[in-house]
Amino acid sequence: MAISRKEEARALSTDEKELVEKSHHPAVQELSDADLSGLVKLLRERRDKAQTEAHRRRREMRGKGAAKGAAPSKADGGSQVKLAVLAMAMRRLNGEAELRRQLAARVSLVDNARKALALKQKAPDNPAHNSRTAHKGMRAVANQKVASLVRPAELGRQRKAAKVAQAKRDAR
């Protein structure tokens, strides 16, 4: 379920709100790679902290964990929303980092292909250097399969006879 920015603002503290705002569309593309990795690290720490808090509150509500304050928590809706907001921000940042990684890989692949083409074009046109050439051309390979002496019609006749005989036995 999508969470509106108003709900995000209500669930987060001011510094967390600034971090999450940087993960939204126009701002995340303006970040440098170093800033993006730093933001991922900070947001991951906040998300893990919120996750721990949400788990603690749920345990308190079930009566399994000791209360942090004077009385155990009655609801954990706010901590769940905060966790969801931070998790979605992490997902956005991880997606952006993956897109950048794929783009860099594509650029690197194109550069390597261009270098290889330049080396190939610069190489001498002597086929003796390439051991993968055919030299004398293609040669026929003898067929290793032994030809069957039985006519295909005879095989079919025997197969059908066996089916009929089996059917007679099954009908008894």
Q: How confident is the model over 36-73, as pLDDT tens digits? A: 999 999 999 999 999 998 898 888 888 887 777 767 67
Average pLDDT over residues 72-98: 88
Residue 70 DSSP label: S
Contact yes or no for 86/15 (Cβ under 8 A): no
Q: Which two tokens stand for residue 58?
A: 């749920």
Q: How confident is the model at residue 14 (pLDDT cuts 50, 70, 90)?
A: confident
What is the rounded distance in angstroms from the CA atom of residue 156 to the CA atom of residue 161? 9
What is the rounded distance in angstroms from the CA atom of residue 61 to the CA atom of residue 156? 76
List phi, psi (to 5°) of 57: -65, -40
Closest CA to 41 of 83, 9, 89, 4: 89
Query: Among 43-47, 73-77, 96-100, 143-147, whose mean pLDDT is lowest?
Result: 73-77
Q: Give yes or no for residue 127 having a pLDDT over 80.
A: no
Q: Give yes or no for residue 131 having a pLDDT over 70.
A: no
| Global pTM value | 0.61
Mean pLDDT score of the chain: 87
